[in-house]
Structures are given as structure tokens and as C-alpha cells.
Structure 1
Amino acid sequence: MNPLLDGGRTANLKFEQTGIKFATPTVSKVNALESANEVADRMMLIDRLGGVLKYADVADKVFRCNLLMIDLHFPRLLAEMLRVMQLDGITRVSELTEAMNSINPLKIKDELITKHHYYEFKMKQFLLALALGMRPAKIYNGTDSAVEGMLLVSGNGEVLCYHKSDKAVFEDFLYLNTRFEKGAVEKDKYGFLERENGVYYFKLNAKIGLVKR
């Protein structure tokens, strides 16, 4: 089936390259690096050269607004999850969310994390919105599309049904059975330093699909 989130380059988030100001040959050296894990390797090379990648913005204004509908700080949370996914190789949404509980990228109070499960709550909201029709390039106002649920066939032929009328069960299924995926670097235009208005940015791509069984 199609990924829950696959907006191509529309789903890119931007990190500003701060720290040491890179000369053009240095930028070229970073962008020319090729490997089996080139996005993470370029990020680590930037770090070794004295650069710092600081979250800046969502590349597309519609996707930015859609993420803000979940929470005004949600783009920053998603950006941190993408960074950890690339550098640490953690892909499952549930495991990345657990990592956010420790990292606490939004610097919220411990009580919100431990008692209210803030990060888990926000990710479940986001995943359910995606399942019910949110798309990066389409204006989202909280209204569900014609999609009301999901039918899946298990490995032994059992049909599984998840519907928005049983919101908690649907959310739990999505939370435990989704993962971040790595889109094609060339196609989705991310994973390299590019200059905008005199500032270098490094983009990461958000793509989420169901765990394959």
C-alpha cells in the first residue's frame, strides 16, 4: 500500500548550517560525499568540519501549516525525529518517540512527558491525521477526507479493520506499526547543502509507512 506520508520534496524540513562559515570548496566536498548512507555521512562530515545543523523551517508553506495544525511546535519535533532517524538508524515511530522522551527537543516539563505522555500523544494525532487524509501539499483544516479507516490483510490471510470510530485502537495500531523511511535523495531533493539568500541549508525528508511483516 502507499505510505502514510509520501509528499516527495514537499515534505522536506530545513536545517540551517551554522557554526563555522563554510567556503564554497567545503560545501562542494560535503555534497560530493557518496556512500551507502550518504545523508547521515554528510551530516557527520558537517559536524566534523565545525558546522552545526540547526532546525530552521518546513520547506513548503502548506506542509508547514498542516504540521502547525497538530501543534505549533510539531515541526521542530518532527525535525528532531528525522535527525535521529538518519544518524542513529532508529526508524520505528514508537522507538523514535521514546527517544524524544529522553532528548526532549521541545524542552517541556517532565510532568508532561511522564504523566501526560505528550510526545506519544502528538505523534498519534499526526499519524491518525495522515491515515484519514492529511497530505503535505493539500491544505488541512482538521476535517477528515472520505477515508474513514484502513483494511489490512495479515500474513495468514486474516483481514484486519481499523476505523476512526474506534479512535484509540486505530491510533495505537498506527503508533506501533509505522516507521520512518528514506526517500530517494535525488528525487526528493534533500540531503545536501544548498544556498538560499546567502545562507546554507540542509534538508531532511519526512516519509512514513507501515512496517512490513
Structure 2
Amino acid sequence: MEIVYLFYTSGYTKTIDLVNEISRINPLGFNHESNHPFYSYKIGSFLTDIALVMMPAKVWFGQLDATGGYLVVKDNGEVLCYHIYNRNEFEDYLLNNTKLETASSTRHDFGSVYSENNKLFFKLNLQIRFLR
């Protein structure tokens, strides 16, 4: 939740910048004495799960559909191949090459206030995209 807040209230859009800032802020009060990269570890795992089939409308059981690997084709035509054995490299790639952005506000009613059960809500719209 803190990353979403940072995205909307700061100039940060790159995932790595958001993770670095949240690590500095440490909203969960994680003990950094052991130098465990808690936030980058969690967000890297989250990005990997999304890339390997986690869907927003389904309950996530942690089982990956991509058991062999993952191909990334860059704008210049270069093909990057990550085998499931290279999970750490794949997570690093996702952390360093993705960003958060909002979609069309008119098409998705982003930012509109609505009422449900006498409570007011507003829609936030957020997408994870590859950097260009």
C-alpha cells in the first residue's frame, strides 16, 4: 500500500526507485540489522508471480504455470531468456525494468468518487509496465 501511496504522491514511477524509497522509509518497521533486502525481496517475488500467471480475478495459490522459463524481447530485438533456475536474475530484471503508471481516466472511471452502502470510495487505476 505504501508503494501505491508513494507513486501518487511523489515523482517516483520506476519500480526500483519506489522499492528503494520504501526501504528507506521502512513503513513496516522491519529490522534491518541482518541487512535482509526485505522490500526488494517481496516486490521482486510479487512481480515474478504476476509475470508467471498470477491474475487479479483468481485466488493465488502460488503455483506457477511457466515451469520452463520466460522470454523477454527488448525493443532492439535482443531476446533475453530466463530459466526458472535464474529466478533471482529474473526478479532483478523485473525490478529494474518496470514502472507503475495509470491507465486512461475516462475509459476506466479512474479517480471518480462513488457511493456504496452509504460509504464514499474512489477508484485508483494502476498498471505495471516495462520501461522503454
1:208 equivalent in structure 2:
128
Distance 1:149 1:209 in 2: 20
Aligned CA-pair RMSD: 2.0
Runs of at least 4 residues off by over 6 Å: none
2:38 equivalent in structure 1:
118
Task: State the identity as a percent.
Answer: 36
Q: Note the C-alpha offset of 1:155.
A: 4.3
1:26 equivalent in structure 2:
none
Judged with a 3 Å threshold, the aligned counterparts in structure 2 of structure 1 residues 108 and 189 are, in CA distance, closer, same or farther, namely farther
User: SS in structure 2 opposite 1:107?
Assistant: coil
Distance 2:59 2:107 in 1: 23
Q: Note the C-alpha offset of 1:109.
A: 3.0
2:99 equivalent in structure 1:
179
2:80 equivalent in structure 1:
160
Which of 72, 78, 101 is residue 23 of structure 2 equivalent to? 101
2:3 equivalent in structure 1:
81
Q: Is the 8 A contact 1:132 1:149 kept in 2?
A: no
Per-residue CA distance 1:39-92 (angstroms, 9 max, x = gap): xxxxxxxxxxxxxxxxxxxxxxxxxxxxxxxxxxxxxxxx22122112213111
Give matches, 1:137-156, under 5 Å: 137-146=57-66, 148-156=68-76
2:109 equivalent in structure 1:
189
Task: Give the paired residue count.
Answer: 132
For normalisation by structure 2, the TM-score amounts to 0.85
Q: Note the C-alpha offset of 1:163.
A: 2.2
Q: Note the C-alpha offset of 1:136.
A: 0.3
Judged with a 3 Å threshold, the aligned counterparts in structure 2 of structure 1 residues 164 and 188 are, in CA distance, closer, same or farther, namely farther
1 or 2 for the larger relative contact order (CA 8 Å, sep ≥6)? 1
1:90 equivalent in structure 2:
12
Which of 51, 55, 58 is residue 135 of structure 1 equivalent to? 55
Judged with a 3 Å threshold, the aligned counterparts in structure 2 of structure 1 residues 99 and 198 are, in CA distance, closer, same or farther, namely same
Higher Rg of the two aligned structures: 1
Q: Note the C-alpha offset of 1:170.
A: 0.8
- Gap regions ≥5 residues in structure 1: 1-78
For normalisation by structure 1, the TM-score amounts to 0.56
User: SS in structure 1 opposite 2:20?
Assistant: helix
